[in-house]
Amino acid sequence: MAGLVVSGTQVSYIGQDCREIPEYLGRDCGHFAKRLDLSFNLLRSLEGLSAFRSLEELILDNNLLGDDLVLPGLPQLHTLTLNKNRITDLEYLLDHLAKVTPALEYLSLLGNAACPNELVSSDKDEEDYKRYRCFVLHKLPKLKFLDAQKVTRKEREEALVRGAFMKVVKPKASTGEDSASAEGHHQYTPLPAASRDLTSHRGSLPVSLLPQNSFLLLR
């Protein structure tokens, strides 16, 4: 099982260029895993994730997940990071997460077209990002952190009043995106430099922002 790292209830399968979740991963680890890190792979589907019913944290940064992303019901999941994937339809994603991850409190979508900021498009500005945050909080009012930034009381109040009108328009698909090489895919990440080291990957959230019961995978 090359590439698999297990530490207590934490399971890591990083940078293996896998296109699907290996069957043995769910068979051997699904019954006890509470934190699963599948970053820096080539995942287009999350089939096989249904074996991990007790997950509390799921890290999926730097994959190829798109608008057909489907998560199984994960009632205990409180942390989900999907940085640097290919998600464009924000409303679909949020509606789906509201159904299958009712306990979600920490969400990060940096580096996706659905997250309108300068990381993905030079024509986006701070106001675009504020509208995005307002809409996300309208759809997922239980969030405490969004894109590694703490949700403020002011943002919550604005989401209650204006969130429904802040819908983010789905960006047009890029013709060259699907032809990007695996090498190019791994070169870009919105994460801090330390998080790009596969031996010290922590996901997108700074340690200080993680829940108190969240432990580091590798020390």
User: Which domains occur in the chain, in start order?
Assistant: 4-209 (3.80.10.10)
CA distances to 90, 145, 179 from 140, rounded to whole Å, are: 12, 11, 33
| pLDDT category of residue 20 using cuts at 50, 70 and 90 | very high
Beta strands at 106-108 and 145-146: parallel, antiparallel or unpaired: parallel
- Position 212 scores a pLDDT of 43
- Position 121 scores a pLDDT of 64
| pLDDT category of residue 101 using cuts at 50, 70 and 90 | very high
Asked whether the beta carbons of 48 and 20 are under 8 A apart, the reply is yes
- Nearby residues of 163 by Cβ (< 8 Å), 6 or more positions away: 134, 135, 137, 138, 139
Task: Summarize pLDDT for 118-166 with one digit per residue, the tens.
Answer: 666 666 678 889 899 999 999 999 999 999 899 999 999 888 877 565 6
Q: What is the pTM of this model?
A: 0.77
- Position 171 scores a pLDDT of 55
